[in-house]
Amino acid sequence: MAVDAAERPMSPLRALVPGALDVPLVVVAAIVAIAVGAPVLGSVIGAGIWLLNRVVAVVDRRWADTLRTRRQQVTVTLFERFGRIWLLAIGIIVSGLVGGRKDGLTTALFVFGAYSVAFVIDLFSGPPEPRGGS
C-alpha cells in the first residue's frame, strides 16, 4: 500500500522538536561556558564553526534541490558533507594552535556536543521529509 509523501504523518519528535535545536543550544552553551570560566576563544570558535557548519548545510540543500539530476544532487551533497567535516576539524586545530590546548579542547567539546544533539534529533525524528527535484 503506497502512501503519498504529502499525506505521511509527521513523527512525534519532529512535531515537538525543531530540526535546528542544536543552533540555539550552542549559543546558550557558549554564553554559559564563558560565564563559568571556560576559555573564551575556544567557546567562540566552537560555537561559530558549528553555526557556520549549519549555514553551509542549509545553503547546500537549497543548491542541491535546484540541480536537475539525482546524480548531480548526490555529488554536490557528498562533497559538501566532507567539506563540513573539514571545516569543523580545521576550526578545532586553529583554536588549539592560536589559543592553546584548553581552547582547542573547548572547541572540540562544542563540536562534539552540537553534533551529538543534531544526531539524536535526526535519529529519533523519523525519515526525512521528501525533497524537491527529480
Residue written as cell 589559543?
Answer: 99
Q: What is the pTM of this model?
A: 0.78
**Tens of pLDDT along the chain (134 residues)?**
444 444 445 555 444 456 678 889 999 999 999 999 999 999 999 999 999 998 888 888 888 888 888 898 888 888 888 999 999 999 999 999 999 999 999 999 999 999 999 888 888 877 766 655 54
Ordered alpha helix ranges (H), the chain: 12-16, 22-35, 40-66, 70-99, 101-124
Domain ranges of the chain: 40-118
